[in-house]
Structure 1
Amino acid sequence: MRTRFFGGLLALLVPTLPLFAQSKGGDGFLFSAPRATLSIRGGVARPSASSDVFSFVTERLTVDRGDFAGLSVATDLAFRVQSRVDLLLGTGISTRVARSQDRYYEGTDDLPIEQRTTFRRIPITAGLKLHLRPEGRTIGKLAWVPSKLSPYVAAGGGMMYYLFKQDGDFVDYRTLDVFSTALRSTDLTPVAFGSLGTTYSLSPRIGLNAELRYDYARGALGSDFRDFSPIDLSGVGLTAGLLFRF
């Protein structure tokens, strides 16, 4: 499922690549305002982890909600539609593997009962990006100079793929038997996002880009977790990286 969605996104983006070669510039300026930008960032993401499946996990195992925070990577491709408005296409991934033990019981060998929980989110979104001030200024007819600092807000929606997986040894709290298993749930569910960011220009073509983003989503859980309500996939992320103008 992930392959089909990433393949569809790539098929959408590839026809636009010839645009990238059309903006040539000089020292300190471009000959015209950029038609597109590409941002590649890395950082951290902290899920809200507020649904009952997380409550159950944190109650029974030596893992806390904050333990699901992990590294994230994000990339956005923006196309100019008006002087301060861009069409924004984006994707990314955040993942964390949290190792834990049962809080209350040990095995018959007096060793900890260990397991690990994997939580991964992959949003694929489209939206609008509004620049709060001009990205740059035109000088005459043949030069465009970027602003040193360009703040923006963005919002939109799309789909999010998630994986929630637990594997290792667990206690059956009715019989107190210890058993080994792997529990897994995946789904593709709608997501909405809002973000606030800024770009600091290093050159006409390259800038430093930082962004604070919030995703809102909930997904159905698979049969391995059938007794729980939908999983909370919302969370906040902070990323920073490079932006390229074309």
Structure 2
Amino acid sequence: MRLRFICGLMAVIGPVLPLSAQSRGGDGFLFAPPHATLSIRGGFARPSASSDVFSFVTERLTVNRGDFAGVSLASDLAIRVHSRVDVLLGTGLSTRVTRSEDRDFVDTDNLPIEQRTTFRRIPITAGLKLHLRPEGRTVSKLAWVPSKLSPYVAAGGGMMYYLFKQDGDFVDYQTRDVFSTTLRSSDVSAMAFGSVGTTYSLTTHVGLNAELRYEHARGALSSDFRDFSPIDLSGVGLTAGFLFRF
């Protein structure tokens, strides 16, 4: 009786097990197209640094515009709304700390007049992501296979927090006096972005993701920099990392 029961149970369960495995995602396919993807990337960001506050800093201090380029981190959550369209929610961080000296003056001991400049940007964005070719293909009612290469474009807007801070010793160019201080400005500004990228599938759930993004924004400066026009927060970034499908 026990043997007959076990044999009967296996006869019922046996055909169900492969279907269950497929529903979780088998070797080379998923049960259905992913509902969302999460991309985590790191790379390099280069600010445009084209406003007059940057011109003043690079003229007076031993800093070049390229010295504001630095490490960049980015993360995007893409929620599928169409076979080729995702709603995109993202954030990131780019920051650089640069040490410098006054180009023209030294202190009374003939030592350099040194300072440090911190420039940090944190965007929070929403937009749309358009896949230029299908992310994958359905081969049956129970199988979805991701494409090896999936290029895309994206665009949107949001808000950007920035911090521009200088601390150290400075020269009063009217009196020639040297003084120590910290100059700081931070604000939140509207922004827009556009990007191109691609994903290379490693497995059904994981891929390599690379993206080139341009961000456009300008922010108000605090009273420490009251004689300057709004600071340029625009720039381009190149990041690469992993994409996870859910």
How many Å apart are 1:75 and its aligned residue? 0.1
Question: Paired residue for 1:226?
Answer: 226
Question: Paired residue for 1:99?
Answer: 99
Question: Paired residue for 1:59?
Answer: 59
SS at match of 1:118: strand
Taking the TM superposition and a 5 Å limit, the aligned residue runs for 1:175-194 are: 175-194=175-194
Taking the TM superposition and a 5 Å limit, the aligned residue runs for 1:77-116 are: 77-116=77-116
Letter in 2 for 1:154: A
SS at match of 2:39: strand
Letter in 2 for 1:36: A
Counterpart check, 1:174 vs 2:174: yes
Matches of 1:25 and 1:183 in 2, distance apart?
55
After superposition, the C-alpha distances for 1:104-131 in whole angstroms (9 at most, x for unaligned) are 0000011100000000000000000000
Matches of 1:109 and 1:144 in 2, distance apart?
72
Matches of 1:29 and 1:165 in 2, distance apart?
50
Matches of 2:244 and 2:103 in 1, distance apart?
48
SS at match of 2:221: coil
Matches of 1:218 and 1:202 in 2, distance apart?
39
Counterpart check, 1:142 vs 2:142: yes
Q: Normalising to structure 1: TM-score of the pair?
A: 0.91
Question: Paired residue for 1:47?
Answer: 47
Matches of 1:222 and 1:188 in 2, distance apart?
12
SS at match of 2:173: coil
Question: Paired residue for 1:203?
Answer: 203
Question: Paired residue for 2:245?
Answer: 245
Matches of 1:166 and 1:173 in 2, distance apart?
17
After superposition, the C-alpha distances for 1:15-62 in whole angstroms (9 at most, x for unaligned) are xxxxxxxx7201111000000000000000000000000000000000
Query: Please, what is the CA RMSD of the aligned residues?
Result: 0.6
Letter in 2 for 1:231: I
Q: Which segments of structure 1 move beyond 2 Å, counting only runs of 4 or more?
A: none
The percent of aligned pairs where both chains have the same amino acid is: 83
Question: Paired residue for 2:151?
Answer: 151
Letter in 1 for 2:59: E
SS at match of 2:50: coil
Letter in 2 for 1:34: P
Matches of 2:156 and 2:108 in 1, distance apart?
52
Matches of 2:127 and 2:139 in 1, distance apart?
30
* Aligned length, in residue pairs: 224
How many Å apart are 1:87 and its aligned residue? 0.1
